[in-house]
Amino acid sequence: MGKSTVIPFGPQHPVLPEPLHLDLVVQDETVIDVLPQIGFVHRGLEKLVETRDYNQFIFVAERICGICAMGHSLGYAETVEELMGIEVPTRAEYLRVIWHELSRIHSHLLWLGLAADAFGFESMFMHCWRLRERILDIFEKTTGGRVILSVVRVGGVARDIEDSELAAICSVLDGIKSEYKEITDTLLTDMSVKNRTVGVGTLTHEQAVDLSMVGPFARASNVSYDVRSFGRGAYGALSDFQPIVDAQGDCYARVKVRCLEVLQSIQIIQELAGKIPQGDIAVKVKGNPDPGARAANVLEQPRGECYYYAQGNGTKFLERMRMRTPTSQNLAGMVEALKGCDLADVNMVILTIDPCISCTER
């Protein structure tokens, strides 16, 4: 063994879409320890709850992260609704889940494209983003926005989707499904991909449980935990929902779980589009949260469980709004997964964990 050397990784690095700094302690070519550092994109968004009322803050919440925008507005709205005892119309719950699952597809396709690009699979990167563009087009058509949708309101949703439009969405998703299967079959059977991912950055089931990992990162280590399986909102109307898990815990397992989750999301949207009831899409919200009222909520974001906490003070402004994002949970697991891997594999391990730093720092 040679002596230890510290190699700085990030915050600006070709493989990182967002700034994350890692001090990699290496001996020869093996990473023996990792010291993560964040704090490059902190914007103090939680503090804004003091100057934006509970209706206005939804637009701040969805700007926490561009990719998880729909999820954050949904998670925030559900928390405030619980705080104020608001019952949301069933049709609004279905529409929210449809948009949320579409955003999961768009997030996973974006990630798959970036991962393919890191593998050197340029053409696959383009195919993934080509398919993602169709999802963004659905967003544009149904909400008016491509990434920041501004469609969820406290008490429901701002826009309805007509039944004919839902049928059109299902047929677009059918087209995406067949092409997506070709892409994932290629990725998951390719020998060069397997060489770089199988047995790399392994996190065992015990480690994943001990470190409270969430999302596809945990599910790839055989932790069968998915907030969607609680059956809240329109998820309760699904005939069957089983989290996608894999037992291996390595980079390949994480790629596989995310690839299969896109197909699962397509299935959820198509099922809900067939079952969506007619009715109102929002209820009128009056009054303010009671002083001292508290509410907590969890939501399955594309990267895992996100926790929301709100506290009222009797005015239209909330006393406190707190979020714990999936990446802040998963950073501890990322450090463990990186220990023992080759320096050349660090990129791949980080990519398959898919950290979202802007969510984490807010």
Partner 1 sequence: MGSFHLGAMTLRSLFKKPETLCYPAQTKTPYAGQKGHIVNDVAGCILCAKCQKTCPCHCITVDKAARTWTIQPYMCVQCGSCVAACPTHCLSMDPSPTSIATQKSEVVCAVPEKDKDADADAEKAAS
Separation of alpha carbons 238 and 273, rounded Å: 11
Considering only residues 72, 91, 127, 303, which one is a binding residue for partner 1 as defined by CB under 8 A? 127
Per CB under 8 A, the segment of 14-22, 55-63, 103-111, 245-253 that binds partner 1 is 55-63
Supply the minimum distance, in Å, between the C-beta of residue 113 and partner 1.
Answer: 13
Three-class DSSP category at 56? coil
Supply the minimum distance, in Å, between the C-beta of residue 58 and partner 1.
Answer: 8
Separation of alpha carbons 183 and 259, rounded Å: 10
**Site size with partner 1, rule: CB under 8 A:** 32
**57-76 binders of partner 1 (CB under 8 A):** 57, 59-60, 63
- Single out the residue of 203, 247, 202 nearest to residue 222, CA to CA: 247
Residue 167: HSE in the Cβ half-sphere, 13 Å Cα cutoff: 3
For residues 78 and 299, is the Cβ–Cβ distance under 8 A?
Answer: yes
Return the number of the residue (211 or 262) whose C-beta is nearest partner 1. Answer: 262
Considering only residues 1, 14, 87, 123, which one is a binding residue for partner 1 as defined by CB under 8 A? 123
Considering only residues 56, 195, 224, 315, which one is a binding residue for partner 1 as defined by CB under 8 A? 56
What angle do the packed helices 69-84 and 90-119 form, to 10 degrees? 150
Site membership for partner 1, residue 317 (CB under 8 A): no
**149-208 binders of partner 1 (CB under 8 A):** 150, 158-159, 179, 182-183, 185-191, 193
Token pair 């060489």 is found at 195
| Helix, strand, coil percent values for the chain (each to nearest 5) | 50, 15, 35
Residues 6+ away with beta carbon under 8 Å from 138: 102, 169, 172
Site membership for partner 1, residue 140 (CB under 8 A): yes
Separation of alpha carbons 72 and 69, rounded Å: 5
Per CB under 8 A, the segment of 138-146, 196-204, 228-236, 242-250 that binds partner 1 is 138-146
Separation of alpha carbons 73 and 59, rounded Å: 7
Supply the minimum distance, in Å, between the C-beta of residue 154 and partner 1.
Answer: 12
Site membership for partner 1, residue 52 (CB under 8 A): yes
Supply the minimum distance, in Å, between the C-beta of residue 105 and partner 1.
Answer: 17
Per CB under 8 A, the segment of 86-94, 137-145, 195-203, 219-227 that binds partner 1 is 137-145
Return the number of the residue (13 or 134) whose C-beta is nearest partner 1. Answer: 134
- Single out the residue of 38, 6, 10, 86 nearest to residue 358, CA to CA: 38
Q: Which two tokens stand for residue 335?
A: 């450090």
Site membership for partner 1, residue 42 (CB under 8 A): no
The contact set with partner 1 (CB under 8 A) reads: 52, 55-57, 59-60, 63, 121, 123-124, 127, 130, 133, 140-141, 144-145, 148, 150, 158-159, 179, 182-183, 185-191, 193
